[in-house]
Each structure stands twice: as C-alpha cells, then as structure tokens.
Amino acid sequence: MGKTDEPPDLLPGTLDLLVLKTLQRGVMHGYGIAQHLRTASDEVVQVGESSLYPALQRLLLNGYVKAEWGASENNRRARYYTLTAAGRKQLASERQEFDRLIAAIQKVLATS
Amino acid sequence: MIERLLRRVRYWLRSRREDAALREELEFHHAMKQQELEREGMDARNARLAARRDLGNATLARETARAVWIWPWLDSVKQDVSYAVRSLRRQPGFTFVSLIVLGIAIGLNTSFFTVFAGLAIRPMPGVADAGRVVTVSGFNPLVRAVNGFSFPEYEFLASQSRAIAGLVAHRPMSIRLQTESVGKSTGAYLVTANYFDVLGVRMEHGRRFQPGEDRRGSQAVAILSHELWQTRFGGDAAIVGRQVRVNGLPVTVVGILSRDFGGPEGSASRIWLPFSMQPLLRPNDPFETQMLESAQHCCVNVAGRLATGATRAAAQTEMQLLSGRFRASAGIPERAIAVEGTQFLRGGRAASGAVAILGVLFVAMTLVLLIACANVGNLLLARATARVREIGVRLSLGAGRGRIVRQLLTEGFVLALIGSALGVLLAALPPIVLRLLSGDSAPFDLKPDGWVLGYGLLLAVVSCVAFALAPALHATSGNVANALKDDSKVLAARFPLRTTLLAVQVAVSVVMLTSAGLLQRGVARASVLDPGFVVDDVSVATIDLPDAYDPARVVSLVSDVTSGLRAAKVERFAFVTNEPLGDNSFMMGMRLQGESEDRMRTIEVVNMSPGYFDTLGIRLVAGRGFDDADAGRDVVIVNESMARLWPDSSALGRSVIIARGGQPIEIVGIVRDSHVASMEAIEPVLFLPIGGSVNVFGDRPPKLLFGTSDPSAAATVAGIVERVDKDARVEITPMKERLDDWLGGLAMAPLAASALGAFALGVATVGMLGVFSYVVRQRTREIGIRMALGARAADVIRVVLASSSKAVAAGLAVGFLGAVAASQVLRGSLYGVSPMDPIAYGAVVLVMAVAALAASYVPVRRAVQVDPVRALRYD
C-alpha cells in the first residue's frame, strides 16, 4: 500500500528516504520539505502534495517522524515534523540499502 | 507492530479531526506556494489560480493519505454501513416490521441456545477451574447405560491414579431430615471427605469436610446446600455447629455451601454427608450396609480433577487400565470407561429423552428463523424492486454489480445485527424464568455469555445471507436499460423468488401449526384418557415420620392404622409405596424363572396392602387378590402386560426372580392393565405385599390411599394416623388434583408449540399480505385495462390471486409433508391420537384458509376499486 503513490520518476522507497534525510536538518513543515527537496536537487525532484503528504502519513504511521502544530514564519498554523529515534535508525539503514542499490545499478551500467 | 496498530486505531477513532488537520495542512501548503509565486513576480490573481490548479491533487492527496492509515475496504464498509443505516431510517415501517420479526425469531433461537449451552456446554457451576474437572463412568453394554463404580473400585482408582489428582465419589440417596418434631423426606448426597476440596466449592458458612471424616466410626457431620439451608433453616447461620437428625441419627452441621454450587444433578436442595454415614442410615438393608465393602455392588458416581499436565485422553487410558486391573482381581468383567466433562447433559443423561427434546426444539427454532428470514427476504425484495431505478442509475454510473450487492448485503447485515442484538437481550430471560421456577441454585448454569453472544452473531450472519443475498443478487441482475425504464416487471418475471419465499413461509407455518394442533389433540385425548383406575373419590395421604423405619415397624404401623380405619368404617383404603400419578417410582431388576442372569430387565415394583385393587377399582382377571395373611409373604400379582411375557400359557403359577440372587416368587393373580405406573404407555408392573423379602419401603414415607365420597373422611384418616404414631404428619391430596397437575404439566408442550405456531402464522399472513399488495401495485395498469374492457370484479380478483395461489398451494403441500414427518417424532406425546389425525390437519387447513383470506382482503378490495381512467393515466 502506498508505494504506487510515489512520483513515477523516483525509485520505490526513495521519497521516504529523501524526506527522512531532509528532516535530519531539523524541524520542518510539509511545504518546507518540498522546498528543500526542490532546491537541494537543483529543481530535479519536484514533489507534489499528492505524494508528499501520503509519504508523511506513512512515516507517521511507522513512527519514524512525529508531528506538532506550531506557528509558521508568516504566523499561520503549520504542522511541523520531527525525526524520531526510530526514524534516524530507519534513515541509516535505508541509506545503506540505497547506496548498495545505486552502486549495483552503476556497476550494471558500466559494463559495455 | 502492535504500536503501528495502536496508532492506526487512534487515527481511526479521531479520523474526522485527522482529516481536518490534513486539509488545513494542504491549505497552508497552497498559501505558501501562492506567496512564493507572488514573490517571484506573478500577480496575485495568477498566483492564486496557479496554486489552485493543484487543488485536484489536494483531494487525491487527502484520499491517499487516508488510505495509508485506513485500509480502503474498511473505509468503504464504514460508508456502506452508514448508508445502510440512513436508508433504513428513511423507511421506518419496513425497518420496524423486519426488526420485530427478526428480533423475535433470533430471540427465540438465542434463548434456546442459552438453555442448550447451560445444559450441554457449560461445566458445573460453582466449581473452581471447572474445565479441569472430569466425570468418570463405566458403560454397561447390557442395558446400554452409563453408571458408576462400586465403592471399593473407586477406592482402588483413587489410590492408584496419577492422571487424576483428586478423585471424589458421590452417591445420591433419600433420607429423612428431622428438624424440631417433623421429619421430612429430603435428598442427600453421600460423598468422600475430599469432595469439596477437590472441586474447590466455596462455603457460605462453616467448613468443608476434613480428611478422615468419611472413615467409619468418625464423628457424624453434615453440610447443607444453600437451598436447603434457606428453605428448611430460614438461612440462619447459627445452624452451623448444631445438631439435626438424619434418619433418626444425630448429625452436626459443620458448613453451608455457596449458592453458586447446585450439586451434580437433580434438585439443589440437599444435605451432604460423608460416606461414613452410609452403613448407619439404613441399618436393616443389607445392600446399604455392605455397600462400602462389596466390589459387586453398584454404584457411586466418580469425578476428579486432572493432574497438572494430564489430558482427558490420558486420564481415560489410565482409568480404563486401572479399572480393568481391579475388575480382573475381583472377578468381574471389564467394561468401557468414559471420562467426560461436567456439563449437565452427558453420558446417561445425554442419551436420555432430554437430547431428543432439545433436538425437536432446535428444529422448531430453526424453522422459526427460516420463516422470519423468508419474510424479511420478501420485504427486502419488494424494497429492492422499488429501488430498481436507484440501482439502475448506480449501475449505469459505473458501480460494479459486486459493489451494489455488497451495499444491499450490508443493509441486510445491519438489520440482522440489530435483530440479533434484540435477540440476545431476549436470551437474558431464561435464567430469570429458571430462577423463578427453581429457586437459587441449579446443577447447571444458564446465563447469556460469550457463547450466547457468539451464537447471536452467527445467527445474524446466517440469517443475513438467508434473507438478503438472494434479493440483492436478484435486484442487480436486470440490465441497466431495463432498470432505467422502470420496467420492474422484467425483474419480477425472471425467477419466482418472491413466490418461493412465500411458499416457504406457508410451509413452515403449516408444519408448526399441525404439530401444535396434534399436541393439543394429544392433551385433549389425555384428559379423557381412562387411567384404568378410579380417580374421582380417591385421595392420597402422605405420612411423614421423623425417622427411618424398618420393615417390622412399617408392618405394625400398617396394621394399627388398618384397624383404626376399619373401626372408623372407612371402606376402601390401602397402603402403598408409590401411588398412581405420584412423584416416585421404584424400578428393580427382574427375570423370569428359567432365564439366565443377563436377561434381567428393570420393572416397576409396587408394595401394597390388600385393599389396593379394590380402592382403585382395578379388576382381577385371573387368580386371586391379596388378603391380610399375605403380609410378609413372597407372592406377586402382575398386570396383563407382565403376564404377556409368557405368550403361550398363563402366567398364573409361574415365578419371577427379583434382583440378583433373589428367590423365585410365585404369581398368584393377574390384574387388568392400568396406568398406575405411568400415564404414557402401560408397562409391566409387579405388585407385592408389604413386609416380604422384596421391599421398597424404608426410605420414603408410605402413602395411604382411601376411597370415600365423604368430605369429612380426610380429617378422620389424618386423625387416626396421628393417633397411632404421634410423630406422624399427614398431608392429603385428592387423586383428581394429581391428575389435573399432570394434565397441567402436559399442557406446556402444546402451549409452547401453539405460541411458535401463532408467530409463524402471523409472519406468514403478513408475508402473504405483502405479496398480494405488491401484485396489485405492480399490475394496477393491467387491471385498469381489463376493467375498461369490461372485466368483472371476479376476473380482477382472479388476476390478483392467481399469481400467488400456486405458491400458497405448493407451500401447503410441502408443509403437510413436513407435518407428517413431524407427527412421527411427536408420536410419543399424542396419547393415542393418530399422527394423521384428520381434525388437526383439517383445523390447520381452515386456519390457513382464513389467514389467506384475511391477507388478501385489503389488496383485493384495492384491486376492484381501481379506477380504469386513473389507472391508465398512471405514469
């Protein structure tokens, strides 16, 4: 469930990883996460609400992040997400897995 | 994993708030985006539009985000349920009728199940960890019955067993309990001293038996059941430590049992005594005095608690082995051992009539549920047909057939679930009724619990499928185009589901009504049944004495009272052990002289004084009656049924042997068959004089029958008895009253059957009414055309009735076949009424005809009053 909701141009599971990585920088709201993903990836990763928010809910369900309401920079109510201990662990292991996968893909691509 | 589930549940519980939060979050997202676009130089209007372009995505985002938490199917079930509730509320009439019908039908079933679970599933109440307690019994293949063990065999098993940690024994008997001056016949249990310890029975007051108190020569102690304590001692706790007299022996009460414990069988009003009392209670009866030593004697009932880690199967194997070893050493043949639970209906009792009655009731209850489902099914079908356009629209908008069937099924399930909630509430009644009927404690436990709840749920599912599935499939089977044209006749004609459901209702009500009718006729027949003895001017005096008495004392009491009665000119009277229509019967093993020991059969034995046949007006057909000289002699008179055991020659002068090792007793007379032993079938009976070697007096008070039309005679008789023995108390009831009591008891079955029959008839009548009305509604236009073309009222009526009368006729036919089958089962309760009794069947035909007329009256009247002009303009 949920895996199919990711943008088609991302590898499965990658969005969750990117969100976790982004939250490692500190507390952020959904819009901030989307912004960060866009700028940090030089506009390559454009995540719409229809995939970002389900991903956040998935992380909430798994207990990797927790959410709190707070005031935003323009004084509106916004929901801020924080990485939990479980989330940090998950990030580490997913990151490792991802690196392994990327290395494998590159290895395949390198063969002529 | 658990945490995930908890988080999911929490989300689900607050799903509305969570949804609002997500919505707010998305709005914030859009606002930020708009702001950003504006900052990049876009004007406010374009920025807003650009941001809003994503709004479509926002809905999708919310849906997918929800789907993360709530499995989509669960969410849609919730939707279906709330849709179903709404649509049921829109049609309160339909909902009300369906709920009444379902509620009563499921209620009857769950009530029945409450009783069934109490009798056959639940272990004995008032016992600690009852699941580990087992009963141990032996199977006697000769009489196909389950019974207990000799006391020495029990002792052997108890000392050798490893699989059963504590083995206990009990033996029911009847004693005379004396409080103040009055002695009263009271139920007792003799038990081993470990009995209450092993079973873990709580005490209301005082203590349990102590180890060794069941050994011979120990102090005489007793424990009272809660019920006995309440009824005989007024619930006075001061009785603990005081003495009562049991068969004349002083016994100290040491404890009162908890109210929860109703004992292993029968009445809960009992006194509990250790086995050490056994030889003392009836010192004149060699059977009783030798019982604790003799391996040949039958029987104590054995139960025990499984040792830690032991299974029932292990206990069974071990008991079989140990019993075989004991019996080999004692020279008795081995027999099969059964290790069972402690539920009330098991072993011998399960093999008795109780299970057959439960079976018949179960079938009746299932039929009631069936008719209710057929009825509600038809209502749903009519409703689905009325909603054919709605369904058509939904189908054409792309809803799958499965989805709509599920929706309709959900509606059915919601109905069934509410119905079964009502039913489970009804199931709380049997325990209340039982408590009213039988006081506090019982050997079984009737209470609506998880089992009953589960059964209610099961019935909800079963009945939902029974009444909702077919209409749902039916309603969605038409094609979209037809449905939208509102041509619902297409649906109606395809499959005669409606008429099939109607036929089922008719058939079931015929079965129930015929059974009720037959039972009613049986009772009517029983009330004019000739019992074969005089009832009208005969009374029964029950003589209560403080102590048990030996046969010599009985003989002297009988002769003293006899001379007193003769002096008072009471013409017809007799002493007897078990009077006609009484509570007691005495069965003994008997064989004809010349037959081998294994041909023993159990036969009713009556000890009586010479005036017996005269008082009851039972005619002698051969030989002689008894006279005073026969008292104490071994002679026997038999009834005609008994005499027929010698098919070729007269029984006169032949001999019978009563009990194992008995002497031959000569038959000196044969009397006409009568219902002295049972109002049901007439069985062989042995009549023996008082004081002979075969004597069933001793533990129960003797009864005095006297026949007189003089109303003051009762006082005279009581006076004479009490003069002879100042401790005696006399209670007199006219035989007629006994007969009426018996007939009153008989009336229960037809009453219950009639109530079920009336419910079935009511449901079927409403069902017919519904179908007829439906036909009129559907065919209003056709009727209009016919009338415009000159059809008369009779033709119109034919149109209305023709379509369904075939179903009614088919229902009647099937119903009568079912009734014939049912009547065979009821044969035993018909008292000679033929199972094919024309009056019962005729009455049912009449009742059904009246019901059909009543059900068709309103629809037919509406049909003949159809105004052709308006009917044709319709649509």
pLDDT tens by residue, B793-816: 888 888 777 777 888 888 999 999
Which residues of chain A are within 8 Å of residue B64 when distances are taken between CB atoms?
Answer: 2, 5, 50-51, 53-54
- pLDDT at residue B493 in the model: 46
| Chain A residues 3-62 within an 8 A CB cutoff of chain B | 5, 29-31, 34, 48-54, 56-58, 60-62
The mean predicted confidence, pLDDT, of chain A is: 85
CA distance B457 to B302: 37
Measure A104 CA to nearest chain B CA, in Å.
31
DSSP state of A65: E
DSSP code per residue over B262-279: --SSS-S-EEEEEGGGHH
Cβ atoms within 10 Å of B8's Cβ, excluding its own:
16
The rounded Cα B806 to chain-centroid distance in angstroms is 37
Which residue has better confidence, B499 or A87? A87
Tell the residue number behind the tokens 């009963």, with chain if given: B135
Residue B134 CA from chain centroid, whole number: 23
Q: Residue B16's pLDDT is what? A: 83
- The pLDDT-based confidence of B488 (bands split at 50, 70, 90) is very low
CA B183 from chain center: how many Å? 35
Say if residues B419 and B106 touch (Cβ distance below 8 Å): yes
Q: How close is the nearest chain A Cα to the Cα of B28, in Å? A: 7
CB pairs under 8 A between A and B: 77
A87 or B748, higher pLDDT: A87
Q: Tell me what the pLDDT averaged over chain B comes to.
A: 83
Least confident of B275-284, B475-484, B532-541: B475-484
Region B572-584: mean pLDDT is 83
Per CB-CB distance under 8 Å, the chain A contacts of B32 are 31, 72, 74
CA angle B147, B149, B153 (to 5 degrees): 160
Nearest chain A CA: its distance from B79 CA (Å): 20
pLDDT confidence of residue B662: 78
Q: Characterize B808-831 residue by residue with b for buried, 16 or more Cβ atoms within 10 angstroms of its Cβ, and e for exposed.
A: bebbbebbbebbeebbeebeebbb
**pLDDT tens column, B630-647:** 877 889 999 999 899 888
What distance in Å separates the CA atoms of residue B109 and residue A92, rounded to the nearest whole number?
A: 60
Q: Do A61 and B69 touch (CB under 8 A)?
A: yes
- Residues A31, B58: C-beta atoms closer than 8 Å: no
Residue B157: what residue type? L
Mean pLDDT, to the nearest integer, of B722-751? Answer: 81
Tens of pLDDT, residues B68-123: 777 777 777 888 888 889 988 888 888 888 898 899 999 889 888 888 888 888 88
pLDDT at residue B251, as a whole number: 93
Of B7, B19, B28, B63, which to mutate for an interface test with A (greatest number of A Cβ within 10 Å)? B28
CA dihedral (B314, B317, B321, B327) positive or negative = positive
**Length of chain B in terms of residues written:** 875
Nearest to A53 among B26, B31, B33 (CB): B26
Determine, for residues B29 and A30 on separate chains, whether the beta-carbon distance falls below 8 Å.
yes
With a pLDDT cut of 70, the percent of chain B lying above it is 92
Comparing C-alpha atoms, which of B310, B301, B307 is closest to residue B342? B301
User: Between B751 and B635, where is the model more confident?
Assistant: B635
pLDDT at residue B494 tops 50? no
Instruction: Report the alpha-carbon distance of residue B526 to residue B528 in Å, rounded.
Output: 5
Please name the member of B31, B57, B69 whose beta carbon is closest to the beta carbon of A50: B57
Residues 6+ apart with CB under 8 A from A93: none
Please answer yes or no on whether B67 and A61 come within 8 Å at the CB atom: no
Q: How far is B396 from chain A (nearest CA, A)?
A: 29
Strand partners, B669: B623, B637
**pLDDT band with cut points at 50, 70 and 90 for residue B666:** very high
Residue B569 or B483, more confident: B569
For residues B829 and B589, give the distance between their C-alpha atoms in angstroms, rounded to a whole number: 27
Cα B457 from Cα B463, distance rounded (Å): 10
Which residues on B lie below 8 Å from A46 (Cβ)?
Answer: none
- Residues from chain A that touch B57, judged by Cβ atoms under 8 A, are 48-50
Whether the per-residue pLDDT at A5 is higher than 50: the answer is: no
Q: How far apart are the first and last CA of chain B?
A: 60
| CA separation for the pair B358, B355 (Å, rounded) | 5
Instruction: Identify whether the C-beta of residue B590 lies closer than 8 Å to the C-beta of residue B143.
Output: no
- C-beta atoms of A1 and B67 within 8 A: yes
Residue B347: per-residue pLDDT: 65
pLDDT value at B604 more than 80: yes
pLDDT-based confidence at residue A36 (cuts at 50, 70, 90): very high
CB contact under 8 A, B57 and A2: no
Q: Which residues of A touch B65 (CB under 8 A)?
A: 53-54, 56-57
* CA–CA dist B403, B622 (Å, integer): 83
Considering only CB atoms, A53 lies closest to which of B11, B35, B61, namely B61
pLDDT digits (tens, 9 = 90+) for B515-566: 989 988 888 888 877 888 888 888 888 887 655 566 677 777 878 888 888 8
pLDDT (average), residues B692-716: 75
For strand B685-689 and strand B601-608, is the pairing parallel, antiparallel, or unpaired?
A: parallel
* Residue range B231-260, pLDDT digits in tens: 888 889 999 999 998 887 889 999 999 988
- Chain B closest CA to A77's CA: distance in Å? 8
Q: Quick one: DSSP state of residue B630?
A: G
Instruction: Give CA angle at B685 (B680, B687), nearest 5°.
Output: 135
Taking an 8 Å cut-off on Cβ atoms, the answer to whether B64 and A2 are in contact is: yes
To which residue do tokens 């055309």 refer?
Answer: B785
The radius of gyration computed from the CA coordinates of chain A, to the nearest angstrom, equals 15
Q: Of B52 and B761, which is predicted with more confidence?
A: B761
Q: Say yes or no for a CB contact (<8 Å) between B25 and A1.
A: no
Would you call A109 an interface residue with chain B, using a CB distance cutoff of 8 Å?
no
Q: In whole angstroms, give the CA distance from residue B626 to residue B640.
A: 17
Of A31, A49, A63, which has the smallest distance from its Cβ to B57's Cβ?
A49
Task: Please compute the mean of the pLDDT values over residues A63-78 and round it to a whole number.
Answer: 87
pLDDT at A33: 92
pLDDT of A1 reads 38
Q: How many CB atoms lie within 10 A of CB B873?
A: 10
Tell me if A1 and B68 make a contact (CB, 8 A cut-off): yes
With beta carbons under 8 A apart, name residues in chain B contacting A60.
7
Q: What pLDDT score does B183 carry?
A: 64
Q: Chain B residues with CB-CB distance to A under 8 A?
A: 3-4, 7-8, 11, 21-22, 24-26, 28-29, 31-33, 35, 54, 57-58, 60-62, 64-65, 67-69, 71
Task: Check residue B285 and give its pLDDT.
Answer: 67
pLDDT in tens, B65-78: 777 777 777 777 88
> Inter-chain contact B4–A61, Cβ cutoff 8 Å?
yes
Lowest mean pLDDT among A75-79, B284-288, B610-614: B284-288
The pLDDT, as a whole number, for residue A9 is 62
Q: Which residue has the tokens 């070697």?
A: B693
B157-188 per-position pLDDT tens digit = 999 999 999 999 999 887 878 776 566 778 89
Query: Is the per-residue pLDDT at A3 higher than 70?
Result: no
- Residue B490: the pLDDT is 44
Report the DSSP pairing between strands B249-257 and B221-224.
parallel
Which region, left, alpha or beta, applies to residue A102 given φ > 0 means left and ψ of -120 to 50 means alpha? Answer: alpha
What's the CA gap between B159 and B25, in Å, rounded? 77
